Amino acid sequence: MNITVMGGVYREYCAWPKQVSLLGSAGRAALCIVQLSKQTSVELISSFAQSDESRIAESFAFTGCKVTNHPAEHTTEFLYDHPLATPIIYPNAAHFTELPLFEVDSPNIEHALLFGMYEKTPVLSAKNVIYDPQNTHCPHLYTEKGAKAENLIYVLNRRELTLLFKRHNAEGEESIEEMVNWLSNYEATRAVIVKCGPKGAFVYCDHEHSEWVPAYQTHKVSPIGSGDSFVAAFTHYHYARGLDVIESTKMASAATAFYVEKGTMTADSNIASFVDTLLPHQFDGEIKRKKVYLAGPFFNMGQMWLINQCKACLEAAGMDVFSPYHELGIGPAEEVAPEDVKAIEECDVLYALFDDHDPGTLFEIGYAIKANKPVVIYSEKSSDEHLKMYEGTGCLIERDFATSIYRVSWM
């Protein structure tokens, strides 16, 4: 089996926890595919600085993956404060109204995985194409610049789907079902898979069948590159293993669980035994949104920054957030306390920032416990002794930020 992977190779820096890589969407996907099966031949086509070619060659040493580089002036860099943060990107191409085309003559390609790029618009035609727009700023349709495929499958996230739907003035509600139906008709796809983070993936195929495929509740979540690993695994199972769209999506979800917990991919023979130890997160639709009470201090710049980051990440995961600072501000006790208590009683789960041992936050945790509300505590530096009573009364304690946000979504 020969698979062509085309898209971006990027530098990725995460400040906390520290993580540095030179892979990007296409580089990571190509590496995942050859890790899943040594029998698959992969060609990676990308455009990055010539000075990085030796490092990329090292990453793919002994894998049999061929790397074809169309040299660029710079290798694009993504800078993250934390794994769930919106990255700063350099060089910043967002001000371009029209990105330069990255066209590859590909008359004999049978199976291709194509990623959209931040700095260019890739154009690749092939008989069978899996396409991920891979751009949350301005995603492009596969056919927009003349690319053609006999069998086209889209794998994209919900934000990209929504942006495409709005950009092309499609009519109807922005429900995932309506938007997927529009995209499938507009692009004549065989299937559309929508990645929805901790909720799993929505699959729509052949205009006949749709279903939610669950994500797995892993013990740790390292989300940078999780979407790339999902698309890579789907490509492997659908092209190399010949599974249908639904089964390929289910196996891709399982392989992604391995990737986010271990930080690497493995041979596909190891996937089934790994996920047997995990619980799938059952998700039946988007109608009910989880209500989260965000407890934490907001009395200095660092505390406010963390509160804002937590609120943004929880909302990005599809939850409604009650934040005392954003909803009520700093006010008199007789006004603030009753509203906070009411919000705790109405929430589905309380998420608490523990490390400053703020008295108000400790009260809110205790009240939620008494009210039989699930509690997730994010704590990096507090001792086990500090956390003893909370652990002993059923609170879920997470030491990793990204994992704690996913844990709230899965509760």
Phi, psi (rounded to 5 degrees) for 335: -100, -40
Count: domains in the chain: 2
Residue 255 shares a structural domain with residue 118: yes
Of 233, 257, 280, which marks where a domain is finished? 280
Q: Got the DSSP string for 96-134?
A: -SSPPEEE---TT--EEEEE--SSSEEE--EEEEEEE--
Structural domain contains residue 286: no
Write the DSSP symbol of residue 198.
Answer: G
pLDDT tens, 285-295? 666 789 999 99
Residue 251 shares a structural domain with residue 362: no
pLDDT of 330? 85
pLDDT of 108? 87
Residue 32 shares a structural domain with residue 162: yes
3-state secondary structure of 234: helix
Residue 36 shares a structural domain with residue 83: yes
Residue 272 shares a structural domain with residue 295: no
Confidence tier at 107 by pLDDT (50, 70, 90): confident
Residue 84 shares a structural domain with residue 153: yes
pLDDT of 97? 60
| 217 beta partners | 279
For residue 376, give the amino acid letter: V
Tell me the mean pLDDT in the region 121-143: 93
Of 280, 305, 323, which marks where a domain is finished? 280
Can you list the positions of beta strands (E) in 140-217? 149-157, 191-195, 201-205, 209-213, 216-217
Confidence tier at 283 by pLDDT (50, 70, 90): confident
Residue 263 shares a structural domain with residue 299: no
pLDDT at 94 over 70: no
Residue 237 shares a structural domain with residue 330: no
pLDDT of 149? 96
Name the nearest CA neighbour of 295 among 333, 321, 331.
Answer: 321
Distance CA 249, CA 264 (A): 19
Residue 12: burial class (beta carbons within 10 Å; 0-12, 13-18, 19+): buried
- Residue 306: give its domain's CATH number: 3.40.50.450
Pairing of strands 375-378, 349-353: parallel
b/e map 334-360, b = 16+ CB within 10 Å = eebeeebeebbeebbbbbbbbbbebeb
Residue 237 shares a structural domain with residue 307: no
Residues 234 and 252 sit within 8 Å (Cβ to Cβ): yes
Distance CA 71, CA 322 (A): 48
- Residue 182: give its domain's CATH number: 3.40.1190.20
Residue 305 shares a structural domain with residue 403: yes
Domain that holds residue 196: 2-280
By percentage, how much of the chain surpasses pLDDT 70?
A: 98
Structural domain contains residue 391: yes
Residue 228 shares a structural domain with residue 140: yes
pLDDT tens, 194-242? 999 999 999 999 777 899 999 999 999 999 999 999 999 999 999 999 9
pTM score above 0.75: yes
| 130 beta partners | 113, 153
Structural domain contains residue 246: yes
Residue 73 shares a structural domain with residue 107: yes
By percentage, how much of the chain surpasses pLDDT 90?
A: 89
Structural domain contains residue 285: no
